[in-house]
Amino acid sequence: MKIFFINLVSMLAALYMFAIMIRAFVSWLREDIIYRYAGFFRFVNKITNPLIYFIRKYLPSVYRNIDFSPVIAIFFIYAAKTGIILLLERI
């Protein structure tokens, strides 16, 4: 049972990190590509907005408006995943 929860936490963290990476790469795409897949990109934004906006509130844009919040979010998720897995392994 413990292995199931460890795998579940790992999978959910990986999916969320992947969604954040998609969000970052979408900002580089042309408008017609974004419009074609608008529903999917809207879903990705909806699930990643809470963490990204929380980080942006405390981390201002630096150097020519480069946004580092997706990178910080991925580090945060990885650290949280590692901490949760360590706690689950001790049970």
pLDDT tens per residue across span 28-57: 888 777 878 888 999 999 999 999 999 988
DSSP reduced 3-state for 26: helix
pLDDT score of 66: 79
Query: Residue 66 pairs with which residues in a beta bridge?
Result: 62
pLDDT at 8: 96
Quickly tell me which residue has 């608008």 as its tokens.
38
Q: Tens digits of per-residue pLDDT, 61-89?
A: 666 677 889 999 999 999 999 999 999 99
The whole-number pLDDT of residue 63 equals 65
pTM beyond 0.75, yes or no: yes
Q: Looking at the DSSP assignment, which residues form a beta bridge with residue 62?
A: 66
Terminal CA-to-CA distance of the chain, rounded, Å? 11
Amino acid, single-letter form, for residue 27: S
